[in-house]
Amino acid sequence: MKFACAQSTLLKALNIVSKAVTSRTTIPILKGILIRVTEDGSVIMSASDLDISIEDKFETVEYEPGEVVVQAKLFGDIVRKLPTDIIYMEEKDGNFNIKCSSSEFNIVGSSADEFPSMNVDEYDEKLSFDRDILKDMIRKTVFAASSDESRGVITGVLFELKNGNFNMVALDGFRMAVAREAIKSEYDQNIIIPARTLLEVSKIINESGVEKNTIDVLLSDKRAVFIIGEIKVAVRLLSGDYIDYENILPKESQIRVTLNRTDLIDAVERASLLSRAGKNNLIRVNILDNILEITSESEEGKGREEVMISKDGKDLAIGFNSKYFEDPLKYIEDETVTLLFNTPISPCIIKPVEGNSFEYLVLPVRLLGN
Amino acid sequence: MKFACAQSTLLKALNIVSKAVTSRTTIPILKGILIRVTEDGSVIMSASDLDISIEDKFETVEYEPGEVVVQAKLFGDIVRKLPTDIIYMEEKDGNFNIKCSSSEFNIVGSSADEFPSMNVDEYDEKLSFDRDILKDMIRKTVFAASSDESRGVITGVLFELKNGNFNMVALDGFRMAVAREAIKSEYDQNIIIPARTLLEVSKIINESGVEKNTIDVLLSDKRAVFIIGEIKVAVRLLSGDYIDYENILPKESQIRVTLNRTDLIDAVERASLLSRAGKNNLIRVNILDNILEITSESEEGKGREEVMISKDGKDLAIGFNSKYFEDPLKYIEDETVTLLFNTPISPCIIKPVEGNSFEYLVLPVRLLGN
């Protein structure tokens, strides 16, 4: 097996597929990258940690077909440090030879036989998403999924296709993020993708520089394969039924507050400096006429912040975990946000002023006296 | 005690003095910053970890004199997150009140009585250095000092003033860096400054944005105080006699090699990818006619690099720890460097082609067969 390509081409593919390489595995072959040169001169690189498998492809003109597995870290380090020139590579007697300019390396290769295959030819259904919408919806939800690996389906993000709507949902028992878009699709379908792997998919979409606006997703029973230009990312699906999230969303709200998003982020960040040490990162939010006051307290001192608001409804004092209250504000683009409340012990909704393309629900922390 | 100042002024001083705050101390007061407002409206902030004490000063117009100690981390976090506006601060009943725009904080203060004082009025001698020369000489030597805290004087950097020359020397038993400048000074003086604190001094010179070209150093028996504009940095000196470094430098060299610095760095970095796992980060350097060949080997594979050279003297095969061989190359500005050798078991000198303002000595690693 041999091939030649520009250092930049090889490095780009390596950076993508390396995301599936884990250093924590006890299976040595999974620390490797499979390099396969096909009969027609495609170089296919792939890696897998069994939860996520990534494959990237580029063409070469000077080649002999074959395949080999090389240590991902060492090969990556070498390619990164080589000059921006043509790299000549050849597998010979189990060794992988790398030549570029005045450098030469011979690194140990392994047989490709044991490498997990990523057969993407069989699938039951094919969905198509707009690249930018998919990226945006992942960004707005994935952070809210549970990071506690024992929590089953809620460690994943729900993709719900229903009546021409595409909804993405993540929750962790304290808060929930819902992103919604209208799409053209005749399918009704629910799949749950582990948040950790979905985050990698999103990074790959960002870094791929893919020009195509559509990302296809091939679905089979236990797996989804994202087709991002020449890159294929296979992820294991979570099985089970997702939480009935629509029933969690309040049907109405008695208090509606509108305020500047940046002012609110700054105020919460400062107030939380004195809440960290305390329990639950507690901040107290007081809604008083046209002021939203945030107070916090720890053994180190007290903080107090004021933000101007416009309000419909009565005054309210309510407590939050500052992190859960602040997180969604970073994912709303609009400069003005709406907060919806009912009582000090019922959930708060945070959303843009217009539309329902993003809704975030956060449970309050009970305050003494409430 | 009270004063007001711009957020940017306060933040700048805080960033400087915070370098002396250690989180690892068991003495609670050392996690604090002393803020003192003098009768004439100077705000003096200071911090100390007993090895290094830093003081910065700025003027204020609205003030009441007094002093208080506040937690460095909390106060720094608050100031960093406040808007770029005027901050009003006041000490009252042991609490420190901070007001800025629509934010207010009350943080716990401590009495200034226990805070270590940094009395800089008494000193025996005053030296003056050019700021840029001092910075440059620190950069070229400090990395070579021993990081093993049990090694006494060689954990420090020697400042040697002798016959109108200023020499700075650091060594760790495997390599040695010497920087030299001619200066106007009638003193002969040897002081040894711990490398760790000297590195902080160098960072402070960089960040201070001080316009003055001269840095004064006040010397007393056990301490040196660097005067960097309004900033004063007191460092504890190491006692004892430094190594007789001039005797370590070879008097002559039988092999002289001249080559491109960047080519050499790149070649060593690549070769060292296959030396890390092996013993001593060993790379083998073969000097053959007009080629310097670098080879390396580990259980993961082999690497081979070639760099064009011009040479006086015979061929040579010699081994090095790749890190010790590469380090000095980063601190030479010239695009061409000179390597001086004698035998495979005698030290190598790395230096710019011209002059002796920088010389680096590295001991070889014995190769099998040498």
CATH number of B176's domain: 3.10.150.10
Distance CA A248, CA A227 (A): 33
Task: Burial-class residue B161 by CB neighbours within 10 Å (0-12, 13-18, 19+).
Answer: middle
CA–CA separation, A326 and A171 (whole Å): 15
Closest CA to A207 of A76, A80, A18: A18
The residue among A276 and B320 whose pLDDT is bigger is B320
- The reported pLDDT for the residue numbered B38 is 97
Question: Per-residue pLDDT tens for B217-252?
Answer: 999 989 999 999 999 999 999 999 999 999 999 999
Residues A265 and A241 in one domain: no
A108 & A11 share domain: yes
Cβ–Cβ under 8 Å, residues B101 and B82 = yes
For every residue of A272-313, which 3-state class applies, written as one string?
A: HCCCCCCHHHEEEEEEECCEEEEEEEECCEEEEEEEEEEEEC
Contacts of A368 (CB under 8 A, 6+ apart): none
pLDDT higher than threshold 80 for residue B196: yes
Residue A120 lies in a domain: no
- CA-to-CA dists, residue B221 to A126, A193, B236, angstroms: 79, 67, 10
What mean pLDDT do residues B103-113 have? 96
Please check whether residue B367 lies inside any domain of the structure. no
The three-class DSSP label of residue A186 is coil
The answer to whether the CB of A6 falls within 8 A of the CB of A86 is yes
* Tokens matching residue B131: 């700021």
The answer to whether A363 and A347 are in contact (CB under 8 A) is: yes
Asked if residue B258 and residue B232 are part of one domain, the reply reads: no
Is B303 part of the contact surface with chain A (CB cutoff 8 Å)?
yes
Tell whether A133 and A221 lie within a shared domain: yes
Cβ atoms of residues B295 and B283 within 8 Å: yes
- pLDDT tens for each residue of chain A, 370 residues long: 999 999 999 999 999 999 999 888 888 899 999 999 999 999 999 999 989 999 999 999 899 999 999 999 999 999 999 999 999 999 999 999 999 999 999 999 999 998 988 777 788 889 999 999 999 999 999 999 999 989 899 999 999 999 889 999 999 999 999 999 988 777 788 999 999 999 999 999 999 888 888 999 999 989 999 999 999 999 999 999 999 999 999 999 999 999 999 999 999 999 999 986 556 799 999 999 999 999 999 989 999 999 999 999 999 999 999 999 999 999 999 999 999 999 999 999 999 999 889 999 999 998 876 5
Residue with tokens 């980063």: B330
Q: For chain B, what is the HEC assignment?
A: CEEEEEHHHHHHHHHHHHHHCCCCCCCHHHHEEEEEECCCCEEEEEEECCCEEEEEEEECCCEECEEEEEEHHHHHHHHHHCCCCEEEEEEECCEEEEEECCEEEEEEEECHHHCCCCCCCCCCEEEEEEHHHHHHHHHHHHHHCCCCHHHHHHHEEEEEEECCEEEEEEECCCEEEEEEEECCCCCCEEEEEEHHHHHHHHHHHHHHCCCCCEEEEEECCCEEEEEECCEEEEEECECCCCCCHHHCCCCCCCEEEEEEHHHHHHHHHHHHCCCCCCHHHEEEEEEECCEEEEEEEECCEEEEEEEEEEEECCCEEEEEEHHHHHHHHHHCCCCEEEEEECCCCCCEEEEECCCCCEEEEECCECCCCC
Give the three-class secondary structure for A154: helix
Whether residue B283 is contained in a domain is answered as: yes
Task: Report the pLDDT averaged over residues B324-337.
Answer: 94
In-domain check, residue B368: no
Give the lowest-confidence range in A151-160, B111-120, B340-349.
B111-120
The minimum CA-CA distance between B277 and chain A, rounded to whole Å, is: 11
Which pLDDT tens digit goes with each residue over B150-185? 989 999 999 999 988 999 999 999 999 999 998 877
Same domain flag for B79 and B31: yes
Mean pLDDT of B317-339: 95
Cβ contact A303–B104 (<8 Å): yes
Q: Which of A194, A215, A246 is the last residue of a domain?
A: A246
Please tell me which of the candidates B105, B301, B306 has its beta carbon nearest to residue A105. Answer: B301
Supply φ then ψ for residue B39, to 5 degrees. Answer: -55, -35
What is residue A278's predicted lDDT score, i.e. its pLDDT?
Answer: 54
For residues A215 and A259, membership in a common domain is answered with no
Tell me the three state secondary structure of residue A346.
coil
For residue B108, list chain A residues with Cβ-Cβ distance below 8 A.
299-301
Q: How far is B104 from chain A (nearest CA, A)?
A: 5
What separation, in Å, do the N-terminal and C-terminal C-alpha atoms of chain A show?
72
Question: If you search the block for the tokens 């520089």, which residue do you land on?
Answer: A209
**Tokens 């001269």, residue located:** B214
Residues B238 and B257 in one domain: no
Is residue B368 over pLDDT 90?
no
Spell out the residues 6+ positions from residue B332 whose beta carbon is closer than 8 angstroms to its own: B261, B350, B351, B352, B358
Classify the phi-psi angles of A173: left when phi > 0, otherwise alpha if psi is within -120 to 50, otherwise beta: left
DSSP bridge partners of A130? A214
Whole-number Å distance between alpha carbons of A268 and A330? 12
Burial-class residue A319 by CB neighbours within 10 Å (0-12, 13-18, 19+).
buried
B276 confidence band (pLDDT: 50, 70, 90):
low
> Buried b / exposed e across B106-144, counting CB within 10 Å, b at 16+?
bbbbbebeebbebebeebeeebebebebbbbbbbbbbbb
Phi, psi (degrees; rounded to nearest 5) at A222: -115, 10
Residue B300 CA to residue A347 CA, distance in Å, equals: 56
Q: Does A266 touch chain B (CB under 8 A)?
A: yes
Q: Domain boundary residue among B69, B92, B114? A: B114
Name the minimum distance, in Å, from the CA of B170 to any CA of chain A: 30
Q: Does A246 touch chain B (CB under 8 A)?
A: no
In a domain, A309, yes or no: yes
Query: Who among B71, B104, B304 is closest to A300 (CB)?
Result: B71
Q: Judge residue B4's burial from the number of C-beta atoms within 10 Å of its C-beta, 0-12 exposed, 13-18 middle, 19 or more buried.
A: middle
Residues of B in contact with A268 (CB under 8 A): none
pLDDT at A279: 63
Q: Are residues A277 and A241 in the same domain?
A: no
**b/e per residue A277-294 (b: at least 16 CB within 10 A):** ebeebbbbbebeeeebbb
Comparing CB atoms, the residue among A78, A106, A270 nearest residue B270 is: A78
Q: What is the pLDDT confidence band of residue B119, given thresholds at 50, 70 and 90?
A: confident
Q: ipTM of this model? A: 0.89
Confidence at residue A304, expressed as pLDDT on a 0 to 100 scale: 97
Q: Specify the pLDDT at position A225.
A: 96
Residue A332, classed as helix, strand or coil, is coil
- The answer, for A286 touching chain B at a CB cutoff of 8 Å, is no
Beta carbons within 10 angstroms of residue B201's beta carbon: 25
So what's the pLDDT on residue A118? Answer: 78
**Which residue has tokens 């792939």?**
A46
Rounded to the nearest angstrom, the gap between the alpha carbon of residue A53 and the centroid of all alpha carbons in its chain is 15
Same structural domain, A234 and A267 = no
Contact A104 B299 (CB under 8 A): no
Last residue of a domain, one of B246, B267, B295: B246
Q: What is the pLDDT of residue B279?
A: 63
What's A334's DSSP letter? S
Q: Which residue of chain B comes nearest to A83, CA vs CA?
A: B266
> Are residue B38 and residue B98 in the same domain, yes or no?
yes
CA distances from B230 to A65, A248, B16, B46 (A): 69, 60, 11, 12
Tokens of A230: 């020449």
| Strand A2-6, strand A86-92: pairing | antiparallel
Q: Does B73 touch chain A (CB under 8 A)?
A: no
| Distant-in-sequence, close-in-space partners of A26: CB < 8 Å, separation ≥ 6 | none
Q: What is the pTM of this model?
A: 0.90
Judge: B299–A108 Cβ closer than 8 Å, yes or no. Answer: yes
Q: Does A95 touch chain B (CB under 8 A)?
A: yes
Question: Domain for residue A370, yes or no?
Answer: no
Do the domain assignments include residue B370? no
The total number of structural domains that make up chain B: 3
Q: Is residue B78 less than 8 Å (CB to CB) from chain A?
A: yes
Q: What is the mean pLDDT of residues B116-135?
A: 87
Residue B23 pLDDT: 80
- The pLDDT score that the predictor gives to residue A276 is 67
A309 shares a domain with A294: yes
> Given CB atoms, is B260 within the 8 Å cutoff of chain A?
no
- Same domain? For B154 and B219 the reply is yes
Q: What range defines the domain where residue B318 resides?
A: 252-362
Q: How far apart are CA B29 and CA B163, in angstroms?
A: 44
What is the model's pLDDT at position A204? Answer: 96
Residues in chain A with CB shorter than 8 Å from the CB of B299 are: 108
Contact B273 A108 (CB under 8 A): no
Check CB contact under 8 Å for A103 and B301: no
Determine whether the interchain pair B300/A81 forms a contact, defined as Cβ–Cβ distance below 8 Å. Answer: no
Is residue B213 classed exposed, middle or buried when 0-12, 13-18 and 19+ CB atoms within 10 A define those classes? exposed
Phi, psi of B135 (to 5 degrees): -55, -45
Give residue A157's Cα distance to chain centre.
Answer: 9
Q: Is residue A194 part of a domain?
A: yes
